[in-house]
Amino acid sequence: MAEAFSSKGVKVDFQWIPWKRVLFMTKNGDLDVTPGWSRNKEREEDFLFSEQPVLIESAHLFYKTGRTITWNEIADLKKYRFVGLLGYNYQYLENEGIKIYLIIIIPKLYLVAYLVVEVFSVLQMLA
């Protein structure tokens, strides 16, 4: 990216900032350009997106040791429960009918979030 801007005579200052803060700072006008966004209707209301992608990323699934997750296409994942972080874009999964349970992570409360998901799973199985 620095090379692309440099070729046009634009000086770039790179900063590593947590995602939620980047979202707030960009919306506030404190940042001019930020890479790595995924497009959704909510973000299109506040931000402009380039016509061509400048970055292509992949998503990874994390799951409990000892479980087996088998799938060939996104639609196969409908039978599993997903937890995501509030503020991130999961539209590509929701468009496939996959429900995402959104949580807020507070430092030192990761274990609580994990236990809530496990308890929720048990309660759902008992229902």
On the question of pLDDT at 58 being above 80, the answer is no
pTM, rounded to two decimals:
0.53
Question: How many whole angstroms separate alpha carbon 29 and alpha carbon 70?
Answer: 43
Task: Return all residues near 53 (Cβ < 8 A) that are at least 6 apart.
Answer: none
**Furthest CA-CA distance within the chain:** 63
Give residue limits of the domains in the chain. 2-44, 74-126
On the question of pLDDT at 109 being above 60, the answer is no
The stretch 77-90 carries a mean pLDDT of: 83
The confidence band for 41, taking pLDDT boundaries of 50, 70 and 90, is: confident
Task: Return all residues near 46 (Cβ < 8 A) that are at least 6 apart.
Answer: 27
Contact status, residue 98 vs residue 77, Cβ threshold 8 Å: yes
